[in-house]
């Protein structure tokens, strides 16, 4: 089991982990402000326009700390190295959350 991610401060932790009993999807929930995409290690402000867009943020709105660097480019690089085109091929399970980052550590 992967541990729930620890964020920069309690406020961020609470916000990212908002669980609402009326909305399963944070994009549907007006209480959800910040989304965390484990795959890319990206934080985003959720835009409640009925779609699924969010604005990536580089600093925590509460404690002001710099957030981890986005791993999006590395994700694409890593898949390319394996000859996988995410637009066409099936993305391996470990690349669908943050496990691919763990497997890279210690190399």
Binding residues (CB under 5 A) for Zn ion: these are 8-9, 12, 20, 22-23, 29, 31, 60, 62-63
d(CA 104, CA 94): 11
Which C-beta is closer to Zn ion: that of 48 or that of 99? 48
Least distance from C-beta 96 to Zn ion, angstroms? 25
Residues contacting 67, CB < 8 A, separation 6+:
8, 43, 57, 58, 59, 60
Nearest by Cα to 58 from 49, 45, 74, 76: 45
Which C-beta is closer to Zn ion: that of 23 or that of 74? 23
Least distance from C-beta 95 to Zn ion, angstroms? 27
Which C-beta is closer to Zn ion: that of 7 or that of 95? 7
């Amino acid at each position: 089991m992967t541990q729930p991610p620890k964020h920069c401060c309690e406020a961020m932790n609470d916000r990212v982990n908002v669980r609402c009993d009326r909305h399963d999807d944070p994009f549907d929930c007006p209480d959800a402000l910040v989304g965390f995409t484990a795959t890319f290690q990206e934080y985003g402000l959720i835009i409640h326009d009925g779609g699924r867009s969010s604005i990536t943020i580089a600093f925590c709105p509460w404690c002001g700390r710099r957030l981890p660097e986005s791993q999006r480019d590395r994700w694409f690089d890593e898949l390319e190295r394996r000859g996988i085109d995410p637009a066409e091929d099936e993305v391996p399970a470990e690349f669908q959350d943050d496990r691919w980052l763990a497997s890279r550590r210690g190399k």
